[in-house]
Amino acid sequence: MTTPCILMCPPDFYGIEYEINPWMSRSRGSAPDKAKSQWNHLHETLLGLGVHVELMEPRQGLPDLVFTANAGLVFEKRFFSSRFRHGVRARETPYFDDWFARHGFQVEHLPPDVYFEGAGDALFCGTTLFAGYRIRSDVGGHQYLGKILQRLVLPLELVDPRFYHLDTCFCPLAPGEAIYFPDAFDRYGCKVLQSHISRLLPVNQDEAVRFGCNAVVVGKHVIVNTGCDMLAADLRAWGYQPIAVELDEFLKAGGNAKCLTLRLDGEEAAVWDE
């Protein structure tokens, strides 16, 4: 097996400086020291699992740069750069593009008239690209990627503003296996998921709002926020080893374990070659 490879960005300048989702409150803010120690714990946990972690240089004035999942979509050595809906995050794009260009990726952009927020909204399970839309990404961007990559794209409408990115309510575990929070989708979306993924593990509301679905899968290990004990027990019953890492400081920005990482070599669940 090749070494799993993940991109992260240290939280030196992380904070709640604007409000672009229902979790963010400038008046409440976040605790910088606590955020640093929680992020370090996640970083060390990944290193302990044998992951090769690449670190991006943090930048003052870009508090959400820590959420590398939103940089873009990685497909083999191609990097499809995000087109962020909010101007405050669009400022991150030149830094992400520069990092990928310097690390041997071909940097590509989507058409100018579509929003697309990378691995936050586009996740492979098997050969199919599951794609969240409406709140951040546009369906047109996903369709464009499906054509270019010649893969089936299944657009899923996100109906609850708290679960504004697909990776907040859906997590592929392996081809044909995923975690999801059913209430974040409409009935049609739930049907699409149920008919295309043979084993779906539902997360309850209490653990969904702890961002239980925003998990990082490394082999049979699943890193998930603390306070998701039912999910952890269900994962164990499915043959996975859950690892709880408290990431509450990042929940305050509407993020968790998965958002803080971007897999550079393909995910456990992703099948890139057909």
Is residue 89 at the binding interface for ligand ARG, with CB under 6 A as the rule? yes
Q: Could you say which of 30, 168, 225, 261 contacts ligand ARG (CB under 6 A)?
A: 168
Interface with ligand ARG: number of residues (CB under 6 A): 16
Nearer to ligand ARG, 59 or 176 (CB): 59
Distances (CA, A) of 141 to 5, 122, 147, 153: 26, 10, 10, 11
CA distance 11 to 242: 24
Report CA-CA distances (Å) from 73 to 76, 141, 201: 10, 11, 24
Name the residue type at position 216.
V
Token readout for 93 is: 């794009």
Both structure tokens of 109: 């952009």
Identify which of residues 118 and 146 has a Cβ nearer to ligand ARG in the complex. Answer: 118
- Of 64 and 97, nearer to ligand ARG (C-beta) is 64
Site residues for ligand ARG, window 1-30 (CB under 6 A)?
Answer: 20-21, 24
DSSP conformation class of 118: G
Work out whether 120 is an interface residue with ligand ARG (CB under 6 A).
Answer: yes
Residue located via tokens 């400081």: 249
The answer to whether residue 171 is catalytic is no
For position 172 contacting ligand ARG by CB under 6 A, the verdict is: no
Q: How many CA atoms lie within 13 A of 142 on its CB side?
A: 25
Nearest approach in angstroms of CB 117 to ligand ARG is 7
- Residues 111 and 148: their CA atoms lie apart, in Å, by 12
Asked if residue 254 binds ligand ARG (CB under 6 A), the reply is yes
Q: Binding of ligand ARG at residue 261 (CB under 6 A)?
A: no
Catalytic site includes residue 5: no
Structure tokens at 190: 């739930």
| Active-site pick, 9, 169, 171, 259 | 259
Pick one of 162, 165, 221, 263: the residue that binds ligand ARG (CB under 6 A). Answer: 165
252: DSSP letter: T
Can you give the binding site for ligand ARG, defined by CB under 6 A? 20-21, 24, 64, 67, 69-70, 89, 120, 165, 167-168, 253-255, 259
Active-site residue numbers?
Answer: 165, 259
